[in-house]
Structures are given as structure tokens and as C-alpha cells.
Chain A
């Protein structure tokens, strides 16, 4: 496509020249400083999340392992917990205390793992947001 001469000349004649280039760069530098500050703040938040996640994971594994080891180390015929009051339901709880404790611990560990996965997803989402 050929350029229209008259239009081209008109555009070239109106080509702007800016006298405030330095001011523009100063304003841009200020904006970039603010962006850098926000980026650093968000990166610090991600680092904190990571440390919390690792700490939660370690605490979860250690306490879970200790609890399960304790449950398994107790004699099979001795209940883990007993109640002063002897009713049908409480007796049933006492008789099945090992099973109930192991189920409870498994449940807690499952919830812990779900929480960790959620944290990982949050971090990934924040990273995508930071890169965008």
C-alpha cells in the first residue's frame, strides 16, 4: 500500500518534541520504585508462607510419627484412655481407644496435608500474579 503524500507530510510536521523528558523519567523512576517495593513485599510474603509451610510440614510429620509410635507401643490389651463413669457408650469408646486414636491421628494428618496443598496453591497463584 502506498502512503498518501499529503497525510504523511502532515503527520511528520506534527511529530511532537517533548521538552519534559527528564521530568517524565523522574516520574517513571518513582513509579518503578513503588513497584519494586510492592514486589519485594510480596516476595517476602511468599518467603514467609514457604517457611510456615515447611515448619507445619515438619511439625506435622514429627508429631504424627510420635503419636502413632506411642499408640503402637502401648499394650494391646490396655486401653489408651478410660472414663470414670461406666456407661455403654463410654465403655465402647474405652474398648476401642486404640482404633479411635489411630483414626483421629490419620484424620488430623489428612487435614494437615490438605492445608499444605492449599498453601502451595496459594503460593503458585501469587507467583503467577507477580509475573503478570
Chain B
């Protein structure tokens, strides 16, 4: 894939990618954009081996998912909703987002559950596609979705 073709693909898919990473980073736009840049550089470096079969977005999301998991180890993990709320209210960047409650609730999910939930509800992927992106079995994805959904509903009081 040439650089021009890659850029054309990225221009088409960047919003979806950034939206996905924004949800994974729980509304932290700067972190999400930094991660998106890293993902796209990684994708560009491995684009010579990519065969275009109309699944550029899934391929990009797979790289994004793996990059997020790798970065997650270095990020501060906030498990408590109150702690998360305090953190969010102290940053100006997150004040731009209307739906902070959802991000706060997402923050309490483990990374894999958060990824599955985001891919399923935000990006509209099927369980089979999520299993391919996250490199896990369909049963594991179903469990993650079920657990994640229950936790989110409880947190959000839906």
C-alpha cells in the first residue's frame, strides 16, 4: 500500500478510530489522540503486508486494541467511580464531553470488557467480528459483553 492510499484510507476512518480510542480512554481526548497517532504510525509501518480486502477499519481497530492494551499497563488504573469522578472533574479536557457519566462508568470496566462493549455498542461490530479484532473466542466476547453490560447498567442505573 502506497503512502497516498494509506492517507486516503485514514482520512476516511480516522473519526471512527478516534471515537473508539476516546471511549477506551474514557473521554481523555489528548490520550486518545496520542494513541491514535501511535496506532496509525504502526499501521503505516506494517501496511506493506496489508492486503486490501475492504476491511481496513477492522485491521486498524485490531492494531488500536493491541496498542491500547500495551499502553494500559503504563496508565493509571482507576477502579473506583468516586475516584474517577474526582479525576474527571479536575480536568478541563473532559468538561467538553456531554456524556461524562458514560465515560465514568466505562472507566470502571476492565480494558477487555471496555473494548468489547465499545466495539459492540459504539462501532456496531458483531460478536464474530469483535472476536477477530480482539483475537479471542466468541464465547469469551459474549461473557465480556454480558458482564460489561450488567456493570454499566448498574453504574448508570439504567
Say whether A associates with B: yes
Q: Which residues of A contact B (CB under 8 A)?
A: 1, 3-4, 6-8, 10-18, 21, 24-25, 27-29, 31-32, 35-36, 131-132
Are A35 and B44 interface neighbours, CB within 8 A? yes
Are B18 and A7 interface neighbours, CB within 8 A? no
A to B contact number (C-beta, < 8 Å): 82
Q: Find the B residue at minimum CB distance from A25.
A: B11
In the bound complex, CA of A124 to CA of B150 (Å):
50
Q: Which residues of B contact A (CB under 8 A)?
A: 3, 7, 10-11, 14-15, 18-19, 22, 33, 36-37, 40-41, 44-46, 48-49, 97-99, 102-103, 118, 120-122, 127, 142, 145-146, 149, 152-153, 156, 158
> Can you sample 18 A-B contacts with CB below 8 Å?
A1-B127, A1-B145, A7-B153, A11-B118, A14-B102, A16-B18, A18-B14, A21-B14, A24-B18, A24-B36, A24-B37, A25-B11, A28-B10, A31-B37, A32-B7, A32-B44, A35-B41, A131-B49
10 further interface pairs, Cβ-Cβ under 8 Å (given A18-B19, A24-B33, A28-B40)? A4-B121, A6-B158, A7-B121, A14-B97, A14-B98, A15-B19, A24-B14, A28-B37, A35-B45, A132-B45
Q: Find the A residue at minimum CB distance from B48.
A: A131
In the bound complex, CA of A1 to CA of B127 (Å):
8
Are A7 and B145 interface neighbours, CB within 8 A? no
